[in-house]
Amino acid sequence: MIDWISLIVVAVVSIGATALFALLLAGAIRLLAAARTAGDGVARGPATVGAWVLLGLIGLLILFALYLIIPQFH
């Protein structure tokens, strides 16, 4: 018998994690593009640092997903 509530929970969490991943990646790409096209008078550092922070969060998200998937880590 299928536990429908658990199936819905898994679907919602999967879609939410995918949306979070896409938002973080889009933000990182946007910040890196802004840093590359910034003029000499504009500070490029904060945009670059922000992009790398977002990419680091993506890495943590991936590591957490691997932790949840691989049973030997529990």
pLDDT tens for each residue of 26-74: 999 999 999 988 766 667 889 999 999 999 999 999 999 999 999 998 8
Distance CA 71, CA 46 (A): 39
Q: Which two tokens stand for residue 49?
A: 């640092």
The per-residue pLDDT for 42 is 64
Distance CA 66, CA 57 (A): 14
Total-model pTM: 0.84
The total number of structural domains in the chain stands at 1
Q: Which amino acid makes up residue 60?
A: L
Distance CA 58, CA 67 (A): 14
Q: Which two tokens stand for residue 61?
A: 């998200």
Angle between helices 4-37 and 45-69 (to 10 degrees): 160
Domain range for 13 is: 4-73
Mean pLDDT score, 3-30: 96
